[in-house]
């Protein structure tokens, strides 16, 4: 069937929220490249970059209001709240090793997967009255979103900077312990101290990167992403067969095999 105008608007709004979050992230991280190009903050400075991100969000809010559906407004504004909460989670870290992975997955959901999950839910609400379908769409988006970020965290260790479009080992340089690091820590407990000081001592980033590549951290994170994609496929397979359903299943494969 044709995509409704309101569903297309949700896609546009989701992309605007995503873009605004990247502009703000680059300010927070003091990043100088994004997808192989200079960041907004490098070109215009931090103040204008923050305002640019705010402006994109405000334009998204206006477009959201124009849809005129209070349920959709509620679903998509949840994304913005989650993005902010996810950023706060990223600024903190857990001393307890058992809590650390749960903290990482919660941050991953809020910063990445919530946007995809709630966008999928929003378009399903506009296209179908059945709450079961809305939940399937949400769960599909949530699982694809978490898998996408897990692969992103793997590529930070396995892909070169030119291919990635941003500096390699960028997360370590920001003091972030992602999936490959947390898995590697189980084989190399000496990484615990580095995680707690957010890789701030000279040589920490290089040592941590070496430990990750010597461990099975990359393989374990990839395996975890595969499990999330399998769950996404299981959810979307509850819908009746269609070319669209098959495309969504194929998308889970693309998430796993991308190299940039």
- pLDDT digit string (tens) for 119-143? 999 999 999 999 999 999 999 999 9
| pTM of the complete model beyond 0.85 | yes
**Which residue stretches of the chain have pLDDT < 70?**
1, 161-162, 164-166
| Cα angle value 155/152/207 (rounded, 5°) | 50
pLDDT for res 168: 72
Percent of the chain at pLDDT > 90 equals: 90
Q: E strands of the chain, at which residues?
A: 33-34, 37-38
Residue where the block lists tokens 């966008």: 119
> How do residues 85-106 score in pLDDT, each as one tens digit?
999 999 887 778 779 999 999 9
Asked if 71 and 149 touch (Cβ cutoff 8 Å), the reply is no
pLDDT for res 164: 66
CATH of domain 78-257: 1.10.600.10
3 state DSSP class of 38:
strand
Asked if 194 and 230 touch (Cβ cutoff 8 Å), the reply is no
238 vs 92: CA distance, rounded Å = 38
Question: Domain ranges in the chain?
Answer: 1-68, 78-257
């Amino acid at each position: 069937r044709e995509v409704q105008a309101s569903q297309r608007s949700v896609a546009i709004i989701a992309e605007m929220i995503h873009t605004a979050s990247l502009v703000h992230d680059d300010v927070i991280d003091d990043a100088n490249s994004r997808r192989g190009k200079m960041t907004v903050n490098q070109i215009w400075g931090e103040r204008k970059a923050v305002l640019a991100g705010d402006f994109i969000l405000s334009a998204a809010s206006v477009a959201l209001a124009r849809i005129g559906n209070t349920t959709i407004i509620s679903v998509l504004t949840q994304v913005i709240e989650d993005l902010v909460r996810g950023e706060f989670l990223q600024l903190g870290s857990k001393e307890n090793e058992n809590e650390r992975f749960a903290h990482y997955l919660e941050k991953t959901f809020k910063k990445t997967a919530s946007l995809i999950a709630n966008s999928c839910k929003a378009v399903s609400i506009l296209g179908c009255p059945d709450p079961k379908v809305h939940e399937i769409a949400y769960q599909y988006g949530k699982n694809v979103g978490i898998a996408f970020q897990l692969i992103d965290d793997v590529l930070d260790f396995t892909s070169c900077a030119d291919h990635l479009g941003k500096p390699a080992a960028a997360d370590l340089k920001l003091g972030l312990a992602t999936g490959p690091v947390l898995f590697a820590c189980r084989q190399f407990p000496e990484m615990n101290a580095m995680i707690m000081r957010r890789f701030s001592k000279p040589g920490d980033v290089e040592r941590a990167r070496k430990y990750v590549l010597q461990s099975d951290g990359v393989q374990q994170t990839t395996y975890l992403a595969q499990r999330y994609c399998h769950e996404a496929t299981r959810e979307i397979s509850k819908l009746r067969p269609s070319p669209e359903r098959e495309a969504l299943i194929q998308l889970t494969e693309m998430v796993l095999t991308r190299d940039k």
